[in-house]
């Protein structure tokens, strides 16, 4: 016997309760998936990068920076909601008045995903493709394991940066730059 289920919509996804076990939920082409929480190293890198981005964005009134926990709708037609580790929305994409109380209804201008040992390469490639297809202008994948950052842009091949390279925000975050090695140094 075959059992078929219909895809979950974005509004149905938003109505789901938050898990209590430290995991988070995402929606991938109508299928609810569970994403395991990451470790301490992941959290420190995420916080340091979010702080650097937020400082830059506030000083220049460029928009908003989000840390882990904000849902972004990448597609309503093929219901997909992702939760990047760090995200940026430019001032031009922020609605007047009150911010959305649920998922952000459009993709971020910048999405940052910090890889963890349990991430599968094929799933990461698919997620990056979803961000770019949805209109995200810049995706950074940060790899603590080999201390690199890979820069993804629509219509361009990915560019991998090593510890000695400088990561910049290009036209998405004008003036932002940081040496890649600084992302992996623990600041106390």
**What is the span of the domain harbouring residue 146?**
40-184
Task: Please check whether residue 34 lies inside any domain of the structure.
Answer: no
Task: Please check whether residue 20 lies inside any domain of the structure.
Answer: no
**Domain total for the chain?**
1
Task: Please check whether residue 3 lies inside any domain of the structure.
Answer: no
Task: Please check whether residue 28 lies inside any domain of the structure.
Answer: no
The predicted-structure confidence for 139-186, as pLDDT tens digits, reads as follows 999 999 999 999 999 999 999 999 999 999 999 999 999 999 999 988
Which residues are within 8 A (CB) of 25 and not within 5 positions of it... i.e. 6 or more apart? 13, 16, 18, 19, 32, 33, 34, 35
Task: Please check whether residue 176 lies inside any domain of the structure.
Answer: yes
When the pLDDT of each residue in the chain is averaged and rounded to a whole number, the result is: 91
Give the global pTM.
0.92
Residue 26 CA to residue 13 CA, distance in Å, equals 8
- Whether residue 97 is predicted with pLDDT greater than 50 in this model: the reply is yes
How far from each other are the two terminal CA atoms of the chain, in whole angstroms? 58
The CATH code of the domain that includes 167 is 3.90.1570.10
Mean of the pLDDT values across residues 106-129? 91
The predicted-structure confidence for 17-57, as pLDDT tens digits, reads as follows 887 777 788 999 999 988 877 788 888 999 999 999 999 99
- Whether residue 4 is predicted with pLDDT greater than 60 in this model: the reply is no
| Helices then strands, each counted (H, E), the chain | 3, 12
| The pLDDT of residue 162 | 97
């Amino acid at each position: 016997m075959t059992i078929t289920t219909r895809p979950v919509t974005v509004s149905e996804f938003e109505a789901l309760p938050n898990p209590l076990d430290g995991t988070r939920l995402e929606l991938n082409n109508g299928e609810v998936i569970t994403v395991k929480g990451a470790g301490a190293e992941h959290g420190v890198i995420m916080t340091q990068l979010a702080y650097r981005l937020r400082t830059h964005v506030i000083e220049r009134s460029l928009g908003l920076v989000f840390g882990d926990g904000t849902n972004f709708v990448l597609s309503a037609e093929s219901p997909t909601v992702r939760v990047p580790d760090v995200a940026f929305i430019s001032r031009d994409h922020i609605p007047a008045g009150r911010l959305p109380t649920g998922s952000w209804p459009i993709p971020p201008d910048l999405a940052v995903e910090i890889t963890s040992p349990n991430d599968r390469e094929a799933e990461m490639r698919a997620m990056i493709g979803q961000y770019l297809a949805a209109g995200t202008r810049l995706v950074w994948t940060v790899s603590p394991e080999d201390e690199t950052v890979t820069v993804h842009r629509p219509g361009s091949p990915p560019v991998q940066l090593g510890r000695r390279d400088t990561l910049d925000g290009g036209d998405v975050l004008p003036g932002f730059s940081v040496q890649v090695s600084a992302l992996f140094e623990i600041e106390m």
